[in-house]
Structure 1
């Protein structure tokens, strides 16, 4: 088995971890039958994933948080009209939330947010509720 012989700089490791959650969400959505597109870069556009059911497209922003506290307050980092959904993944826990776009600051476990367990079947069931 290969063994990594070099260390990854902290900022690079953080970027890789963020991209891993984007890729994870993309694979779960694609396995559920969505067409999934990943922009080469999302700098400024705030779109990590673009999905389609063949008729309509939806823009998704993916975030990961180093917390196990579902009462965490999150802050919008995008113009409300630029995305359709935000996916939050807990790095410390095995859960996440699907949210509509919002402005300002809200609790992650807000009543309009849909919780999911980090498993494809549970995630796709939660995504179907939105």
Structure 2
């Protein structure tokens, strides 16, 4: 079995972990039949994924959080940018939330935010409710 021989710098490891949640969400959307597009960069546009049903396109922002607590306050990082949904993943637990874009700060578990279990079947079932 291959063993990684070189250490990863902390800032690189953090980036890799963030990208892994974007890739996970992309694979779950594809499992559900969505077309998934990955922007080459998202600086300024705050778009990690674009999904399409063949007719409509939706811009998705993906965030991961180091928390067990879904009652935490999260802050908008996409002011003035037109996105459709934000996906929050807990890095420490097996849950996440689908939210509309919001302004300012809000509790992650606020009304209108949809909790999902980090499994493709549950995620896709919950995303169908938005």
TM class by shorter chain equals over 0.9
The alignment partner of 2:13 has SS state of helix
The alignment partner of 2:78 has SS state of coil
Aligned to 1:50: 50
TM-score by length of 1: 0.98
Deviation at 1:81, TM superposition (A): 4.6
Aligned alpha-carbon RMSD (Å): 0.7
Runs of 4+ in 1 over 6 A off after TM superposition: none
Write out aligned runs for 1:1-130 (5 A).
1-79=1-79, 81-130=81-130
Q: Is the contact made by 1:50 and 1:57 (CA closer than 8 Å) also made in structure 2?
A: yes
Runs (5+) with no aligned partner, structure 1: none
Deviation at 1:82, TM superposition (A): 1.5
The alignment partner of 2:97 has SS state of strand
TM-score by length of 2: 0.98
* Residues 21-30 or 73-82, more deviating: 73-82
Runs (5+) with no aligned partner, structure 2: none
**Number of residue pairs matched?**
130
For residues 123 and 68 of structure 1, what CA distance do their matches in structure 2 show? 18
